Amino acid sequence: MKITCSKQKLSEGINIVSKIVPTNTTMQLLQCILIRAENGEIRFTANDMEIGIETVIEGTIETAGMVAVDAKKFSELIRILPDDDITIETDRDFILNFSCASFRSNPTLVGVNGDDYTFLPDPDRIEEVAVSMYGFKDVISKIMFSVGSGDINKTLSGANVVIKGDQLRMKTLDGHRVSIRNMKLKESYSDVDVIIPAKTLNEINRILPAETEKDIRISFCESHAIFEFEKTVVVSSLIDGQFIDVERMITKDYDTKVKINRKRLMDCIVRSMFYSKEGNKKPIVINISDNELELTIRSSDGGLEEVIEIEKEGKDIRIGFNPRFVFEALRVIEDEDVELYFVNSRSPLYIRDEAENYIYMILPINLNE
Amino acid sequence: MKITCSKQKLSEGINIVSKIVPTNTTMQLLQCILIRAENGEIRFTANDMEIGIETVIEGTIETAGMVAVDAKKFSELIRILPDDDITIETDRDFILNFSCASFRSNPTLVGVNGDDYTFLPDPDRIEEVAVSMYGFKDVISKIMFSVGSGDINKTLSGANVVIKGDQLRMKTLDGHRVSIRNMKLKESYSDVDVIIPAKTLNEINRILPAETEKDIRISFCESHAIFEFEKTVVVSSLIDGQFIDVERMITKDYDTKVKINRKRLMDCIVRSMFYSKEGNKKPIVINISDNELELTIRSSDGGLEEVIEIEKEGKDIRIGFNPRFVFEALRVIEDEDVELYFVNSRSPLYIRDEAENYIYMILPINLNE
């Protein structure tokens, strides 16, 4: 194999595929990127057997061929080469020889025969959906904070993606809270209801450009999802099983409705988090009376009492929360004012907008314990 | 105590003193900053018993007083307060109460009685020397990479500072290499020959502004050095003992002299370091012949051969080095070209300029082992 690519294109390609490469595996090939130069295209592939990524990089092929190379070492070596066109040539022993015009040097890197590398699966596609790149990134980045660990229930370690007509709804759930985001698609599709692993969605969020005018194409298969955008394909296995019926938990009934400035409340919660460490798990106590929300917290380090002006509808209420859970929901909302819905001090808080583009549900902490 | 300072001044003061505060101590007071408001001045003090730092911060005193407060918690709390004037008031139980105009909140922090806090020592001053702030920082930052660990010889865990007339000379030594920097003072002083702990010099480098027009005043005492600049005083104990006689090692004789572009050599060594990991300790092999320096390295990952044009005087030579040691010396030199002096393959490499503003000595690796 002999190919020439700019350092920048090599780096971009490595960056797209290499983050999923497992570092703690005894299988040498799994730690590798596969470089394939054939049919006029140079492809980088990484595959951890749950998720595989393939991307085409710009460059010229002098001799077709294929070689696998340790992802970490390849990435490191490319990083220290000059910002120039780089020619990579392999010999019979799969040693990669790097050269470029700007200096008399020829760094080498020991590669591996790529013949046994596992290519990406290519399952039958049941439904293909087009989603705005920007919109998909936006939804992912606003629900992933509440994904579960999956230790007890494997289905919670992913996000539930439901498509009904032209509506895409994504949900995560971690035992203390539920995050839901809705998004309108340009067309209507047949029903989809799958669980996509958190790792896959986080990778896609990382490598997907935030383009508002372009779409990512998502194909749903029997047990895989295939994501295609620009010159990259991501194939991910789906999580088997039924996601917890979140819809049953969501209620529109409330006894107290509060309208509050989001930034003001978030700043106050950031201050309260100073007193609530992993060790002490101190709750914030929220006291809502007419026109005022009073937030207090006490710990062995000191405490805080803060008062914020609100618009209130319904009953007074006193309720406790883990401040981090409220903070993480408020942080991903962009509205200037948010609406908080309460039933009673043992029922969840709902933060949702009128159009229900977002619903964040947070369980309270029992203050009488 | 009741004082008012801007958040910025509080943060600056915390930043100057707090880095030396020990984190793993059972003595609660050592983890504290002392806040003292008296005689119209607000002072922050930190003291780890080897080095103490005191700085005056701008602000107004309503009630004089003193309190000690956990450095880490104080710093964290100030960081999350709004960018505003902040009033700090203590009560009888040494609880600090924070307030500011912009919101109805009063975070508190539990403090400690400051009566038992150890103030900075104030030893008799033998000689006071004025050194350009910029120049002192510059010298420190260019020799500290080769400070020893002090495990075997305590004197090597500091830098040797020697003043003779109007010359200040600083040296560090770590068993593989020696770094020396010289600097001209504006006046002449009596002889000084002391060892200042690396921790002290690193702290001073961190907090000293890089002002070219202003001086830092250094007072040498029997067993301390006192550093004064702007509104800050640093008192450090000196390391007891005699620094290794480095001067005896330095020779001006050479059999080979090479003039080489510094950046070109440094880039090549950076590439070679890819093959020389902590685990394998692979040396670079430098082969000097007429007009060419050839650098090679081999490891199980691959290898590198690179050729750089040079101007040579004297004999050909083949010699091996730990690439990191050569890299760290080249990195702190600013000259476009550097001169390398060799005697033979078992003798040190000297990198020095004509005026001897700098001398870097690096021991070779025996290639025949």
Q: What is the pLDDT of residue B77?
A: 96
Tens-place pLDDT, residues A250-262: 889 999 999 999 9
Are residues B108 and A73, on separate chains, in Cβ contact within 8 Å? no
**A77–chain B Cβ distance below 8 A for any pair:** yes
Q: How confident is the model at residue A281 (pLDDT cuts 50, 70, 90)?
A: confident
**B79–chain A Cβ distance below 8 A for any pair:** no
Mean pLDDT of all residues belonging to chain B: 95
**B126–chain A Cβ distance below 8 A for any pair:** no
Are residues B80 and A110, on separate chains, in Cβ contact within 8 Å? no
Candidates 3.10.150.10, 3.40.50.1100, 3.30.750.24, 2.60.40.1150; CATH matching A125-248: 3.10.150.10
Nearest CA in chain B to A98: B304
**A211–chain B Cβ distance below 8 A for any pair:** no
- For residue B109, list chain A residues with Cβ-Cβ distance below 8 A: 301-302
Give A159-162's long-range contacts (Cβ < 8 A, gap of 24+).
Answer: A159/A195, A159/A196, A159/A198, A159/A201, A160/A193, A160/A194, A160/A195, A160/A243, A160/A246, A161/A192, A161/A193, A161/A194, A161/A195, A161/A196, A162/A191, A162/A192, A162/A193
Phi, psi angles (nearest 5°) of residue A190: -70, 160
Q: How confident is the model at residue A101 (pLDDT cuts 50, 70, 90)?
A: confident
**A279–chain B Cβ distance below 8 A for any pair:** no
Q: What is the pLDDT of residue B28?
A: 85
Nearest Cα to Cα of residue A21 among A12, A29, A30, A11: A30
Q: Chain A neighbours among B 232-271 (CB < 8 Å)? A: 267-268, 270-271
Are residues B268 and A105, on separate chains, in Cβ contact within 8 Å? yes
Q: What is the pLDDT of residue B369?
A: 65
Are residues B302 and A104, on separate chains, in Cβ contact within 8 Å? no
Mean pLDDT in consecutive groups of 10 residues from the start of chain B, 369 residues: 97 97 85 96 95 97 97 95 94 95 86 93 95 97 95 94 98 96 97 97 97 96 97 97 92 96 96 88 95 95 95 98 97 98 97 96 90
Arithmetic mean of pLDDT, A215-241? 97
Count Cβ–Cβ pairs < 8 Å, chain A vs chain B: 72
- For residue B300, list chain A residues with Cβ-Cβ distance below 8 A: 110
Q: What is the pLDDT of residue A102?
A: 77
Are residues B303 and A107, on separate chains, in Cβ contact within 8 Å? yes
- Give the CATH H-level superfamily of domain B250-362: DNA Polymerase III, subunit A, domain 2 (3.10.150.10)
Q: What is the pLDDT of residue B221?
A: 96
Are residues B108 and A270, on separate chains, in Cβ contact within 8 Å? no
**B291–chain A Cβ distance below 8 A for any pair:** no
Task: Round the CA-based radius of gyration of chain B to a whole number and report it.
Answer: 25
Tens-place pLDDT, residues B290-305: 999 999 999 999 999 9
Q: What is the pLDDT of residue B169?
A: 98
CA distance A79 to chain B (A): 9
Mean pLDDT of all residues belonging to chain A: 95
- The architecture of the domain spanning B127-248 is Roll (3.10)
Would the pLDDT of A352 be above 90?
A: yes
pTM, whole model, 2 decimals?
Answer: 0.92
Tens-place pLDDT, residues B270-324: 999 999 987 778 999 999 999 999 999 999 999 999 999 999 999 999 999 999 9
Tens-place pLDDT, residues A16-45: 999 999 888 878 888 999 999 999 999 999
Which residues share a beta bridge with B192?
B163
Would the pLDDT of A152 be above 90?
A: no
Nearest Cα to Cα of residue A284 among A275, B13, A292: A275
Q: B2-110: what fold? A: DNA Polymerase III; Chain A, domain 2 (3.10.150)
Q: What is the pLDDT of residue A7?
A: 97
Check: CB of residue B209 under 8 Å from CB of residue B134. Answer: no
Q: What is the pLDDT of residue A25?
A: 80
- For residue B28, list chain A residues with Cβ-Cβ distance below 8 A: none
Best interface-test mutation with B: which of A74, A84, A97, A103 has the largest number of B CBs within 10 A?
A: A103
Comma-separated ranges of CATH 3.10.150.10 domains in chain A: 2-110, 125-248, 250-362
Q: How confident is the model at residue A369 (pLDDT cuts 50, 70, 90)?
A: low
Q: What is the pLDDT of residue A134?
A: 97
* Among the partner residues B104, B107, B109, nearest to A307 by beta-carbon distance: B104
Arithmetic mean of pLDDT, A145-161? 94
Nearest CA in chain A to B96: A302
Nearest CA in chain A to B303: A108
* Among the partner residues A76, A110, A270, nearest to B80 by beta-carbon distance: A270
CA–CA–CA angle B101, B105, B110 (5° rounding)? 115
Would the pLDDT of A105 be above 90?
A: no
* Among the partner residues B105, B300, B307, nearest to A304 by beta-carbon distance: B105
